Amino acid sequence: MREAITFMDYESISDLLLFLGQGCSLKMNVNLGNSNKDKERSPMSNEYVYRSNKYINKNELVSVKRKFFPYLSLEYPDQTEILKKGQIMISAYDILGFQEKIKEVDMRLLSAFAVKKNELIMVSDKNFEIISMPSNNIVSFSPTIIISPDMTKSVGVKIQLNKRVVVDIADRTWKAFVYFIMTADLYGWGTNIVSGYVSNAIGKTSTDMSNISKNPHAGEEYPSEVVFKNSQPISNEEKRKSFFDD
């Protein structure tokens, strides 16, 4: 009989923020799984039980260390394989630069339209590109006029992802896209996403360090064997060049 799925089995969580059309979407994602030096999977949350003389009424404490990776993604159909998605990642290393570019594009798009003789026209069709040099991802935006079935014209934006998929979105959808990008709080959103699952994980990843040092030195909260002071080495992903570096 197959074992019940637990929080430890979850590798990632993805929330759909905005459907753009043509199979393209803006999503909020959180990667929960981590790999140790032996390439074994370790959970997002680890608990350490240790002895401490910090309090007079408690000599054993628990500390929790969490490690998860939140990011936004622009997803589009992969033309080389059915049902697969291409992805342009916007991580915490990229979000500020991406916000600056989107703000600039939004301001310029506003001046690309005019009304002449009661008819909507484009006075500029300039294309704006945002390029991710490390992954060679290209996101481009240009103004367009959307014509409805009743021939009504309205302001729109043409989005092209990696020169593979083109989608025309109405001004209303564009404003929603700008809203999500400009208000993005990756850590806050990521924390909220995992909070609904993490209660099932309490006590499941404990490492008991309390027997390492029965008589810890005064003022020493952690025994020397419990290494908290140094973080993990920066990963290749974290070392990569920023989305907007030239």
The residue ranges of every structural domain in the chain are 7-213
What does the pLDDT read at residue 184? 95
What does the pLDDT read at residue 214? 43
Radius of gyration of the chain measured on its C-alpha atoms: 24
153-161 and 165-170: which strand pairing? antiparallel
Residue with tokens 């140094």: 230
SS (H, E, C) the chain: CCCCCCHHHCCEEEEEEEEEECCEEEEEEEECCEECCCCCEECCEEEEEEEEEEECCEEEEEEEEECCEEEEEEEEECCCCCCCEEEEEECCCCHHHHHHHHHHHHHHHHCCEEEECCEEEECCCCCEEEEECCCCEEEEEEEEEEECCCCCEEEEEEEEECCCEEEEEEHHHHHHHHHHHHCCCHHHHHHHHHHHHHHHHCCCCEEECCCCCCCCCCCCCCCCCCCCCCCCCCCHHHHCCCCCCC
Per-residue pLDDT of the chain (246 residues; tens, 9 = 90+): 666 666 677 788 899 999 999 999 999 999 988 887 888 887 777 778 888 888 989 888 888 888 889 999 999 997 666 667 889 999 999 899 999 999 999 988 878 889 988 888 988 888 888 876 557 788 999 999 999 888 888 999 999 998 889 999 999 999 999 999 999 999 999 988 888 766 555 555 555 555 654 444 434 444 433 333 333 444 455 445 444 554
What does the pLDDT read at residue 228? 34
What does the pLDDT read at residue 136? 79
What does the pLDDT read at residue 124? 84
What does the pLDDT read at residue 172? 94
What does the pLDDT read at residue 230? 35
Q: b/e for 9-25, b at 16 or more Cβ within 10 A?
A: ebeebeeebbebeeebb
What does the pLDDT read at residue 188? 93
